[in-house]
Amino acid sequence: MSAPPPRFPVKLLLRPRNWLLWPVLGLAALLAPLPDRALAALSRPLGWMLWRVPRVRHVTRRNIDVCLPERPEAERAALARATTTRFALSLLQSMRVWIVQRRDRPAYPLARIDGGEHLSAALETGQGVLLLTCHYGAPEVHGSLTDQLPRAGRRLVGVYRQPGHDAADAVLHWARSGYCDAIIPGTDIRSIVRELRSGSLVWFAPDLEKARKGAVYVPFFGVPAGTTTATARLAGMGRAVVVPVRYRQDAEGRFIYDIRPPLAGFPSGDIEADTARVNVAIEDLIRDDPVPYWWCLERFLRRPDGVPPVY
């Protein structure tokens, strides 16, 4: 029998040191009844304000310049502005999901699944499935859409970077219970492996920079990037099939779930080659439509010895 979903953490939020979370939750409640076209309209001034932040503007431009140098300069400049507005929309959509999403009443209905046969094939193996994704669009929308996939009764588990704040962590657990059976910190390898071995679908986005223990420098769009080796390690220890996924919207605004073929022969046992292969799979999720990707992330903050800084 599954555990009941976490309750809204009222007691934690009533402590004075946690009061700053109330305005965020209040804004989420105000956004909840708005249609997506209203959120899109709000994202334009919010995106403009984000663009006025020098660090955001600089990191976004540099990431795009070094990752997509083959594109004309004018196209890269336009992409930087467009992706900042889309990032703003992702934040607004995510807050809406926190309030509106229920397991039986999704905030954003799934219109179509492309590549559903790849997930079906992975499920037919009887193994756990590691859904490999990245910070592309709104993570909460992605979670809501993932919950709508046919998965033969398998549990859906999200892996997340745990905030160093107990109330914020409790809010995340409450909010994401609307589409996940559980969320597990990325540091809790044992629990993630247990879920995979029991056949769960585990949603995992390893595209945040990691340059300490458990990471290697491998190319990301041709640029050395500190990348976690966890994808290969989890797939190996959890005996899981790795399936790259993303979502997108069509011209009418309908939500499409895009499932790519599983990574064959993964992991191979060569941790560096496997991690490089993960980055290639993530690049393939981004390259044909780079606007929704979070180019504002400091993906190349730390550099290998002797390599000049990106920022």
Residues 211 and 197: beta-carbon distance below 8 Å: no
pLDDT at site 2: 59
Q: State percent of the chain over pLDDT 70.
A: 99
Task: With respect to residue 143, please indicate whether it lies within any of the assigned structural domains.
Answer: yes
Task: With respect to residue 155, please indicate whether it lies within any of the assigned structural domains.
Answer: yes
Neighbours of 215 (CB within 10 A): 18
**In this structure, what token pair is assigned to residue 230?**
């966890």
232 pLDDT exceeds 80? yes
Task: With respect to residue 167, please indicate whether it lies within any of the assigned structural domains.
Answer: yes
Res. 250 pLDDT band, cuts 50 70 90:
very high
- Mean pLDDT over the full length of the chain: 95
Task: With respect to residue 230, please indicate whether it lies within any of the assigned structural domains.
Answer: yes
pLDDT at site 4: 72
Distance (Å, rounded) from C-alpha 91 to C-alpha 39? 10
Task: With respect to residue 45, please indicate whether it lies within any of the assigned structural domains.
Answer: yes
pLDDT average, residue stretch 192-203: 98
CB contact burial 249-273 (16+ within 10 A = b; e otherwise): beeeeebebbbbebbeebbeeebee
SS3 84: helix
pLDDT at site 7: 86
pLDDT at site 104: 87
Res. 1 pLDDT band, cuts 50 70 90:
very low
Task: With respect to residue 210, please indicate whether it lies within any of the assigned structural domains.
Answer: yes
- This prediction's pTM: 0.94
Residue 158 forms beta bridges with which residues?
183, 203
Those residues with Cβ within 8 angstroms of residue 129's Cβ, 6 or more apart along the chain or in another chain? 119, 122, 123, 154, 196, 200, 201, 202, 240, 241, 242, 243
Res. 6 pLDDT band, cuts 50 70 90:
confident
Per residue in 157-189, pLDDT (tens digit) is 999 999 988 999 999 999 999 999 999 999 999
Number of structural domains (the chain) is 1
Task: With respect to residue 254, please indicate whether it lies within any of the assigned structural domains.
Answer: yes
pLDDT average, residue stretch 94-114: 94
**In this structure, what token pair is assigned to residue 56?**
């955001």
Task: With respect to residue 273, please indicate whether it lies within any of the assigned structural domains.
Answer: yes
165 or 66: which leads in pLDDT? 66
Tokens 């592309």 appear where?
A: 136
Those residues with Cβ within 8 angstroms of residue 262's Cβ, 6 or more apart along the chain or in another chain? 118, 121, 122, 241, 242, 243
Residue 105 forms beta bridges with which residues?
102
Closest residue by Cα to residue 123 from 200, 231, 184, 230: 200
110 pLDDT exceeds 90? yes
Structural domain range at position 154? 10-286
Our measurement of the distance from residue 216's CA atom to the centroid of its chain's CA atoms, rounded to an integer in Å, reads 20
Angle between helices 166-176 and 21-31 (to 10 degrees): 20
Those residues with Cβ within 8 angstroms of residue 28's Cβ, 6 or more apart along the chain or in another chain? 95, 96, 98, 99
263 pLDDT exceeds 70? yes
Res. 34 pLDDT band, cuts 50 70 90:
very high
Distance (Å, rounded) from C-alpha 11 to C-alpha 124? 44
